[in-house]
Amino acid sequence: MGRRALPKIDPAMDLSRHLKTVEELPRPWSAEAFFGRTARLEVEVGSGKGLFLRSAASARADTDFLGIEIAPRYARFAASGLARRGLTNAVVVVGDAVLVFGETLPDGVLAAVHIYFPDPWWKRRHRKRRVMRESFAQDIERTLQPGGLLHYWTDVEEYFHTGVAVISSQTHLEGPFDVPESPAEGDLDYRTHFERRTRLGGRQVYRAEFRKQASQ
């Protein structure tokens, strides 16, 4: 299912606090330099329109959220949603999550990684572009702190099973654990816009959770 056109945002809106480039990430990584404090840190891979970031940042002010979105127009839209609400504990970075994990994020820095409805790259010759690959799964494990969680959701059954297989074979993360579907009474009860579209369209969402062992 293709992405729909985005509503226009005010071109005069100041996004400097909420929208960053990969080059603006501090190296070596410093939460203090980037967020202005040291707090629990979670990353969303592929933030899309930013519903998860907005909802999570609003609900958990004690946690910082880093969204990584490769499409500049979606990154800008997600950042605008954070800016309108004055959410200072979430930032969207325009770039490739594989590179951000591999080149910027240090060991054991993340409390959770969220991957919701990643691009399935339907054509077989393009599947090497899928984000859930061996090296990325290993970087997720490396950057998670002991007890940290990986949330992996997709509406593509084949991608779900191959993704779970990659995680299980390439890491020591515990799981997959089943994630029951929560009832949704309103738009904000969905974790992402894509989940909303998928469920309202009567299609199944495949969900799994993995956990890094506390002793790792």
- Residue-wise pLDDT for 79-104, tens only, equals 999 999 999 999 999 999 999 999 99
Residue 93: how many CA atoms within 13 Å on its side-chain side? 23
Known catalytic residue: 119? yes
Report residue 12's pLDDT band, with 50, 70 and 90 as the boundaries: confident
Q: What is the pLDDT of residue 1?
A: 45
Q: Are strands 90-94 and 206-211 parallel, antiparallel or unpaired?
A: unpaired
Domain of 184, in residue numbers: 19-211
- Say how many domains are in the chain: 1
Checking if the pLDDT of 2 tops 70, the result is: no
Residue 160 has pLDDT above 90, yes or no: yes
- Containing 133, the helix (H) or strand (E) segment is none
- Residue at 24 is within a domain: yes
The answer to whether residue 139 is domain-embedded is yes
pLDDT single digits (tens) 16-55: 999 999 999 999 999 999 999 999 999 999 999 999 999 9
- Which two structure tokens, joined as six digits, stand for 143? 């950057």
Give a yes or no: residue 191 inside a domain. yes
Judge whether 1 lies within some domain: no
CB under 8 A, 24+ apart: contacts of 22-25: 22/93, 22/94, 22/95, 22/96, 22/99, 22/100, 22/104, 24/93, 25/93, 25/100, 25/104
pLDDT value for 134: 95
Peptide bond connecting 180 to the previous residue in cis, omega within 30 degrees of 0: no
- Predicted pLDDT at 4: 65
- Residue 62 resides in a domain: yes
> Taking 70 as the threshold, does the pLDDT of residue 143 lie above it?
yes
User: Which member of 64, 107, 119, 189 is catalytic?
Assistant: 119
Residue 13 lies in a domain: no
Flag whether 65 is in a domain.
yes
At residue 189, the pLDDT reads 61
Give the CATH number, domain containing residue 128.
3.40.50.150
Q: pLDDT by residue (tens digit) across 166-210?
A: 999 999 999 999 998 887 766 656 676 666 677 778 788 899 999
Q: Is the pTM of this model over 0.85?
A: yes
| Residue 12, domain member (yes or no) | no
Residue 5 clears pLDDT 70, i.e. is over it: yes
